[in-house]
Amino acid sequence: GRAMWPGGAGHGKLKRCSMAHNCLQCIKYLMFVFNLLFWLGGCGILGVGIWLAVTQGNFATLSSSFPSLSAANLLIITGTFVMIIGFVGCIGAIKENKCLLLSFFIMLLIIFVLELTVVILFFVYTDKIDKYAQRDLKKGLHLYGTEGNIGLTNAWSIIQTDFRCCGVSNYTDWFEVYNTTRVPDSCCLEFSENCGLHSPGTWWKAPCYETVKIWLQENLLAVGIFGLCTALVQILGLTFAMTMYCQVVKADTYCA
């Protein structure tokens, strides 16, 4: 009867090894599909960024202090990061590589913590950010219509036309830019050539900063859902990576 024990232990170990292996295969393919989608998402973001950079020129930004902080550049950087992380995750999953899985986990965790920090700081310093943003946008108005600032010029024209507003905190912001009682034609209630030279009665009066801010607050639900989805995707990625890492370790232990 004693001879059966080693066989029983061996059989148990084999069974555990087989279970660990099956579990690992399941998580491996889930993680691969997840990261493939992650990578494709990155490609999409990068593509939109490049398209914006090509069509809007280099300066599709409203900020004069951070000329590089354009929508195009932000999308290009984000897309590249997402692609790199997705690629590391994909290879880590396929190769069942502990080092790559851990790298993927750490990279994603760092980004998640950074995002969380930015959101918290934003809510803590809302008033200061408000004042700084308005000051910076007013400085940016002076670049309107100047050479090499086609992106900024287009951005202001679109905002003022779509939001039916004029200037940053008042339509008089433009008077300092033109050194006369004048606003861009995109401020006019009825658009016509040089209508910005007419009387203030024919211009939009709402300040753009407040108008856009109110619009964002009204669409807070959409912004919140987008933020929540982004966070969920990252948490899912972190969970997949850690689970798979543990399964690789388990399979190594049981199947050694």
In a domain, 115, yes or no: yes
pLDDT at 7 over 80: no
Residue 251: what pLDDT? 82
In a domain, 170, yes or no: no
Q: What CA–CA distance (Å, rounded) separates 256 from 252?
A: 6
Residue 91: what pLDDT? 93
| Residues 144-159, mean pLDDT to the nearest whole number | 85
pLDDT digits 0-9 by tens, 166-205: 999 999 999 999 999 999 999 999 888 888 887 888 899 9
In a domain, 99, yes or no: yes
| Residues 83-87, mean pLDDT to the nearest whole number | 93
Residue 1: what pLDDT? 43
Higher local confidence (pLDDT), 253 or 108: 108
In a domain, 12, yes or no: no
What average pLDDT does the chain have? 87
Residue 203: what pLDDT? 93
Residues 6+ apart with CB under 8 A from 174: 141, 166, 167, 182, 183, 184, 187, 196
If one counts every other C-beta atom within 10 angstroms of the C-beta of residue 208, the result is 24
91 within 8 A of 36, measured Cβ to Cβ: no
| Residues 24-35, mean pLDDT to the nearest whole number | 89
Q: Give CA separation, 228 vs 8, 23, 39, 115, 127, in Å.
A: 50, 29, 19, 12, 24
Number of structural domains (the chain) is: 1
Half-sphere CA count of 96, side-chain side, radius 13 A: 15
In a domain, 100, yes or no: yes
Residue 120: what pLDDT? 94
pLDDT at 110 over 70: yes
In a domain, 189, yes or no: no
Residue 9: what pLDDT? 63
Residue 95 belongs to what domain range?
A: 21-165+206-255
Backbone angles phi, psi at 203, to 5 degrees: -115, 160
What is the rounded (10 degree) CA torsion for 17, 22, 28, 29?
A: 170
Q: Helix, strand, coil % (nearest 5) of the chain?
A: 75, 0, 25
Range list of β-strands (E), 89-226: none
The pTM score is 0.74
In a domain, 191, yes or no: no
Higher local confidence (pLDDT), 70 or 36: 36
**Closest listed residue to residue 59, CA positions, set 156, 152, 142:** 152
In a domain, 8, yes or no: no
pLDDT at 3 over 50: no
The H-or-E segment that residue 235 falls in is helix 220-254
| Residues 25-29, mean pLDDT to the nearest whole number | 89
- 232: tokens are 């969920």
| Angle at which helices 220-254 and 4-56 cross, to 10° | 150
| Percent of the chain predicted with pLDDT > 70 | 93
pLDDT digits 0-9 by tens, 155-174: 899 899 999 999 999 999 99
